[in-house]
Chain A
Amino acid sequence: MAVKHKILYLYLALACFLGIILIFVFDGYIGVYDTLIIKAGENEQKIEADYWQRGGRDWPLDVEWGGKASFQYEVDNRRFSSYKADIEVSVWHDLEKVSDVLVQSISVGSFDKEQVEWVVDTAEIIPDDVSPEQGYEFTLSIKRGEIERRFVVYVRSSDFPIKVVPAPPR
């Protein structure tokens, strides 16, 4: 009888250990995840949700002067209930809002995905008094409910590449 109890305790301990592993796997999978695919010129970048979860800051993005950048934002709802949120995309410069790019409500079913697409035309954003030589940068903010993803967009002309100043000799 005592031997049976001993084995039972061992099995229960193993069951608890397996339970912990299962919670790690299950909890890691369940949730709402967003993925962003950015196409600017010939470059394509994919930013997964774990970049932001690991504490990633503003994502830098280079766009050719007067060029366009297309964004494909995917919301993956891995939950047992549906997910609703408002997506607001706006352009900011010097802590002031320049323009709204997109305002859209989405409703994603349980274990389903929803995509939102938009294009940012730098020609419409850059002020007329800024020359290609000066370059320009702005912040693109993507808000999904209370979550915000920020991108710093550097608009440069290939005719005026960044000059690297050599360090002065010691």
Chain B
Amino acid sequence: MKLEYVLYGFGILFCIAGVGYLAAEYVKYLSEIGKLGSLLLTVGFFTFLGKYFEGLGW
């Protein structure tokens, strides 16, 4: 049971690292205003997602 959670943890970490790497590659070619917009939307995304999970009782 514990081993499964460790594997889930690794899977989630690799997914986040992969998405982070791809996003960093894309961000290199964005304009300054595009970077700012993306940053604000990322903050909004995690805020609303956090609120949603908070509502679920996490």
Which A residues are within 8 Å of any B CB, using their own CB? 2, 5-6, 9-10, 12-13, 16-17, 19-20, 23-24, 26-28, 30-31, 53
Q: CA separation between A6 and B51, bound complex, in Å?
A: 8
For the complex, count residues of B whose C-beta is within 8 A of A. 18
Most chain A CB atoms below 10 A, which of B31, B37, B52: B52
B44 at the interface (CB under 8 A from A): yes
- Which residues of B in the span 1-54 have a Cβ within 8 Å of any Cβ on A? 26, 29-31, 34, 37-38, 41-42, 44-46, 48-49, 51-52
Assess A12 versus B48: contact at CB under 8 Å? Given A5-B55, A6-B56, A53-B29: yes
Tell me if B's interface is mostly helix, strand, loop or mixed. helix
> A27–B48 contact, CB under 8 A?
no
Assuming the contacts A6-B52, A6-B56, asked whether A17 and B45 have C-beta atoms less than 8 A apart, the reply is: yes
